[in-house]
């Protein structure tokens, strides 16, 4: 089915793994911590237990590096029956600091896409995670000049988007969201009557994955990379 974008006035962008690399650093950190804790459990068991702890802690810590590191420290304590050394805890904290201080690696074509779309549309960022960390990344990215509004959400459910659009006085039918997560960036927008374009990233956190049925039951467009978004608007110009 061909999607019609002629009524779009505002375009929202997810940040992590849509504008810049993010999830790759989490996977690398998990591998490092897995090696640190390898004498307590197998890699597969470590991954399973870390995911359980992360999900349990989401209501308390929210999303982002800080909550991730606290969950990994909790994992180390649990797997070791509270015998893990101070040295290992220190190394886990250092991994977290390195993640926070990673340079911003923009995904291919990001600035070209923002520059082109900002000529005809208002652009906003709608992301989730740690507020300070996301503000820091946006500042370091050099992309702030393209956006009219930045919103860091605690969650990305349909109600969160409804409240955001209402607060910004945006008609859902005139809003388009672009992001890498079907669960957070695409399906909630379709549910509230907005448009969405899915730009897959090569790795997705387990918590962000959806079933084939959930994905197939919604109308949205998928493009290979962010530059592919521009082709969706070519017929309008």
Q: How confident is the model at residue 211 (pLDDT cuts 50, 70, 90)?
A: low
Work out the average pLDDT over 231-237. 64
- The predicted structure's pLDDT at residue 62: 87
Give per-residue pLDDT as tens, 97-128: 999 999 999 999 999 999 999 999 999 999 99
Q: How confident is the model at residue 203 (pLDDT cuts 50, 70, 90)?
A: low
Q: Is the pLDDT of residue 235 over 70?
A: no
Q: How confident is the model at residue 3 (pLDDT cuts 50, 70, 90)?
A: low
CATH, residue 61: 1.10.150.240
Work out the average pLDDT over 40-51. 91
Are 85 and 113 part of one and the same domain?
Answer: no
Q: How confident is the model at residue 236 (pLDDT cuts 50, 70, 90)?
A: very low
Q: Is the pLDDT of residue 216 over 70?
A: no
| Of the residues 72, 100, 128, the one at which a domain ends | 100
Domain count within the chain: 2
| Of the residues 50, 66, 100, the one at which a domain ends | 100
| Residues 51, 57 contacting (CB under 8 angstroms) | no
Residue 128 lies in domain: 10-20+105-236
Q: How far is CA 204 from CA 18, 92, 140, 184, 230, in A?
A: 12, 22, 23, 12, 24
CATH, residue 228: 3.40.50.1000
Give per-residue pLDDT as tens, 120-153: 999 999 999 888 899 999 999 999 999 999 999 9
| pTM for this model (two decimals) | 0.89
User: Would 127 be classed as within a structural domain?
Assistant: yes
């Amino acid at each position: 089915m061909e999607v019609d974008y002629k009524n779009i006035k505002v375009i929202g962008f997810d940040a992590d793994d849509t504008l810049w690399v993010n999830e790759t650093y989490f996977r690398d950190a998990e591998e490092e911590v897995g090696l640190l804790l390898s004498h307590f459990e197998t890699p597969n068991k470590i991954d399973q237990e870390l995911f359980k702890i992360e999900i349990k802690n989401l209501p308390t810590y929210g999303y982002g590096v800080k909550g991730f590191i606290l969950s990994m420290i909790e994992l180390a304590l649990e797997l070791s029956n509270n015998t893990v050394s101070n040295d290992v805890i220190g190394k886990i904290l250092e991994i977290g600091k390195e993640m926070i201080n990673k340079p911003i690696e923009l995904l291919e074509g990001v600035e070209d896409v923002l520059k082109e779309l900002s000529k005809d549309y208002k652009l906003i960022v709608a992301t989730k995670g740690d507020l300070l960390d996301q503000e820091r990344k946006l500042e370091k990215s050099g992309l702030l000049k393209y956006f009219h509004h930045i919103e860091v959400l605690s969650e990305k459910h349909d109600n969160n988007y409804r409240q955001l659009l209402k607060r910004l006085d945006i008609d859902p039918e005139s809003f388009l969201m672009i992001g890498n997560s079907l669960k957070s960036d695409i399906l909630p927008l379709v549910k509230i009557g907005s448009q969405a374009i899915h730009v897959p990233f090569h790795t997705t956190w387990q918590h962000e994955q959806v079933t084939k049925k959930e994905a197939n039951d919604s109308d949205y467009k998928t493009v290979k990379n962010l530059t592919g978004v521009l082709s969706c608007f070519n017929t309008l110009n």
